[in-house]
């Protein structure tokens, strides 16, 4: 993909604001709250923020800590990326929540400076990322998506929106995070959702981010600006729930009353049940 659409000023500012949102969300937590289970298997609120610290530390060039045990043996570690994440967590878990928050502030301040110091060539240069070799600009949108998803994880772990006032699931950070989901939808609806050749799929998020995803399946799935005929099935749901389903944080069955399916209900329900694509 071209990185022309990934405006450097906007994306850098959004990433910085997303780090600020994570800091606000975790500020003032007691140790019991820090160790609350999150929607991610094996991870607490502490672990979620420690994961962000570890990834941003890696991007600053810090060496991977020594592992104290075989992290591959942990049931929630499914691949090498998961193992790397767990090694960083092992090194940070002895900290208190407050100490971790200080570490997070220090690391993200250095990352802001590092991103600001990149020249245009470095912003466009290819770098290895969780989705393969991509331009640095695209990797930063992946980082924004990851950090925004972890905002949802921590919010849910702490009791949801009612328990975390001021945390907005909308706004520009959320819009950019959904932009990062979009390239994977075609493959997801065909390979996981079983959309047949010749089908037309519409997924509409109703808010706080309002978005329409139109998918045409002709040999392969393609996202299109408009369908050439009415959709075989239309799935409507909130953007936060959509992101959580794509991130494998919950299941469609657990939110049946929040998902509207029109047209071919069997196809729509099958797709909604198989949106997860993140590692």
Average pLDDT over residues 262-276: 97
Mean pLDDT of 72-90: 74
**CATH 3.30.1050.10 applies to domain 176-273:** yes
Residue 4 has pLDDT above 50, yes or no: no
Looking at residue 93, its pLDDT comes to 93
State residue 85's pLDDT score: 80
Check whether 167 has a pLDDT greater than 80: no
CATH of domain 8-168: 1.20.120.450
**pLDDT at residue 47 is higher than 90:** yes
% of the chain with per-residue pLDDT over 90: 80
Mean pLDDT of 128-146: 93
Residue 3 pLDDT: 44
Average pLDDT along the chain: 91
Model confidence over 174-194: pLDDT tens digits?
A: 999 999 999 999 999 999 999
Question: Where along the chain do its domains lie?
Answer: 8-168, 176-273
Supply the pLDDT for residue 235.
98
pLDDT at 139 over 90: yes
Q: Can you give the pLDDT at residue 183? A: 93
Q: Give this prediction's pTM.
A: 0.92
Residue 173: predicted pLDDT? 95
Span 93-103, mean pLDDT?
97
Residue of 87 and 72 predicted with greater confidence: 87
Average pLDDT for residues 206-213, to the nearest whole number? Answer: 96
Predicted confidence at residue 1, as pLDDT, reads 39
**SS3 readout for the chain:** CCCCCCCHHHHHHHHHHHHHHHHHHHCCCCHHHHCCECCCCCCEHHHHHHHHHHHHHHHCCCCCCCCCCCHHHCCCCCCHHHHHHHHHHHHHCCCCHHHHHHHHHHHHHHHHHHHHCCCHHHHHCEEEECCEEEEHHHHHHHHHHHHHHHHHHHHHHCCCHHHCCCCCCCCHHHHHHHHHHHHHHHHHHHHHCCCCCCCEEEEEEECCCEEEEEEEEECEEEEECCCCCCCCEEEEECHHHHHHHHCCCCCCHHHHHHCEEEECHHHHHHHHHCCCCCC
């Amino acid at each position: 993909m071209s990185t022309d659409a990934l405006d450097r000023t906007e994306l850098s500012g959004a990433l910085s604001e997303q780090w600020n949102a994570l800091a606000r969300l975790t500020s003032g937590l007691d140790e019991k709250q820090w160790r609350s289970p999150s929607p991610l298997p094996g991870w607490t609120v502490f672990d979620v923020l420690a994961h962000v610290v570890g990834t941003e530390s890696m991007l600053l060039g810090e060496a991977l800590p020594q592992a104290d045990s075989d992290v591959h043996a942990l049931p929630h570690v499914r691949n090498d990326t998961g193992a790397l994440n767990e090694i960083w967590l092992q090194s940070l878990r002895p900290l208190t929540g407050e100490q971790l928050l200080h570490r997070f502030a220090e690391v993200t301040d250095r990352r802001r400076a590092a991103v600001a110091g990149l020249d245009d060539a470095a912003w466009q240069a290819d770098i290895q990322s969780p989705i393969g070799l991509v331009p640095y600009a695209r990797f930063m949108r992946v980082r924004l998506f990851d950090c925004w998803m972890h905002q949802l994880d921590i919010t849910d772990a702490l009791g949801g929106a009612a328990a975390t006032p001021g945390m907005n699931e909308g706004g520009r950070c959320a819009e950019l995070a959904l932009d990062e989901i979009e390239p994977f939808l075609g493959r997801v609806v065909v390979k996981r959702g079983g959309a047949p050749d010749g089908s037309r799929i519409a997924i509409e998020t109703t808010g706080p981010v309002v978005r329409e995803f139109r998918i045409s399946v002709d040999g392969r799935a393609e996202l299109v600006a408009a369908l050439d005929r009415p959709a075989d099935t239309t799935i409507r749901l909130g953007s936060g729930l959509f992101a959580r389903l794509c991130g494998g944080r919950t299941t469609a069955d657990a939110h049946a009353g929040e998902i509207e399916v029109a047209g071919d209900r069997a196809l729509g329900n099958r797709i909604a049940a198989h949106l997860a694509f993140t590692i």
